[in-house]
Each structure stands twice: as C-alpha cells, then as structure tokens.
Amino acid sequence: MKLTSDSSVRNGYALALLRIGVGILFLIFGQYKVFSTAFTLHGGFQFWIHKFLEGGAYPFMAPILQGFVLRHATSIAFLVAYGELAIGLALVLGIMIRSASFCGLIFMLTMLFSSDYPGAEAAFWQYFGASLSHSVFALCFAAFLIGRADSVWSMKASRQAQPGASGVENQ
C-alpha cells in the first residue's frame, strides 16, 4: 500500500480505517449477544432497559421504553443483537456501508436518548459529557454517510480495481 500526498486519497484511507475500527467494535458488541443467550433470552436486555429507566432515560423516552420496548423485549433484543452484528460485518467487509451507517446512526441516537440523560438539573455541557459513549459513534456513522467510506478497503473498491472493471454494470 502506497499512500500519496493527495489529500482525498489519504482521507479515503483515514475514513476506511475508522470504518473498519468501528465495524470491529460492533462485531465484538454483537457477537456475544448473538452467540450467547444471556442478552436475548435470559434477561440481559431487560436488565439494561430497567437500568436506563432507573436513572438514564430522557423523560420522553421512558414511556416508549416501558410501554413498547419492554413489552416486546425478546424480539427487540434479537433485533439489537443481530443488528449490531450486521452493522459490524457490513463496515468491516465494506458492503452496504451507507445502509449500515444509517441503521447505526438511528441505533446510536436511540441509545443516546434511552441511556444518557444526566438529569434535569444538569448543566448544559453535562448533556454532552454524558452522551460520549453514543454520540461519538453517532458522529462516526454520520461521517460514513456523508463521506466516501467505501472508496478504499471495501467490496466496491475491490470490484473497481479488478482488471477489466469499467465501473459500468454489464447489461
């Protein structure tokens, strides 16, 4: 691999490195949930939702968590587990990056509002400090949506780099 001084090429490599790093983290998050039943079938998901409700959910999210999420906890736990795994696979392999990033952004915003509420009496800056565990990932997903996170180290880039690849699909 030869890095050139062209800033767009270097930015492509930086974005791909960040994309793969985030993807690996999501693979780690998702794999233990998928390959173990503690989160999906044995109350792990419900434990976290109750913990969010006890002290971390934004007030407008509490009725949603209580009335909808807990009512459908097992189904949503499987959606979370397989969703995290799918996002991680897509980002690492470089396939469907924009779709995975959109889903990841929605997921991180949902997590942020479900678990990062510092309290009504908190200073304005504390809202940002409390949200770091989810807002940083949300910003990464936004960057993958806006930028060209598939320009290098992706399936699209490998298809375009193949000899004879014209970038136009065969009819």
Q: What sign has the CA pseudo-torsion 45, 97, 144, 2?
A: positive
What is the mean pLDDT of the segment spanning 17-38?
96
Each residue's pLDDT tens digit, 108-127: 999 999 999 999 999 999 99
Neighbours of 108 (CB within 10 A): 21
pTM (two decimals): 0.86
CA atoms within 13 A on the CB side of 113: 12
Neighbours of 106 (CB within 10 A): 13
DSSP 75: H
Are 116 and 56 in contact by the 8 Å Cβ rule? The answer is yes
Each residue's pLDDT tens digit, 69-87: 999 999 999 999 999 999 9
Query: Is residue 90 predicted with pLDDT exceeding 80?
Result: yes
